[in-house]
Amino acid sequence: MKRFLHGLIALPFLTAAAMAEPTQLTDPQLDKVSAGFLEIDKSNTSLTVLSIFQRSYLTEPTGNFITCSNCYLLIVSSTISIASQFGPTGSFTAPP
């Protein structure tokens, strides 16, 4: 019975959140939006970092650069960077 009452008390809060309208971004805010993804895969034998960032304009830098001193795989470009090394601990410098 106590759970049922708690559910009834929480119901108005849940419906208010479900009925909320999303805020629309202005044009200047949309111009600054960029998508990005950073994935770090760690196992007991290797460490891999994948970084993907999309630029709003072709002339804008993405900061998508991974640096690694002892990687056996290092592919770096402005939109995608991949680095991998042996061992579970690494010395990667990934984009913020």
Q: Is 0.85 topped by the overall pTM?
A: no
What is residue 1's predicted lDDT score, i.e. its pLDDT? 80
**Which contacts (CB < 8 Å, 24+ apart) does range 50-56 have?**
50/80, 50/81, 50/82, 51/80, 51/81, 51/82, 51/94, 51/95, 52/79, 52/80, 52/81, 53/79, 53/95, 54/79, 55/79, 56/31, 56/32
Sites in the chain below the pLDDT cut of 50: none
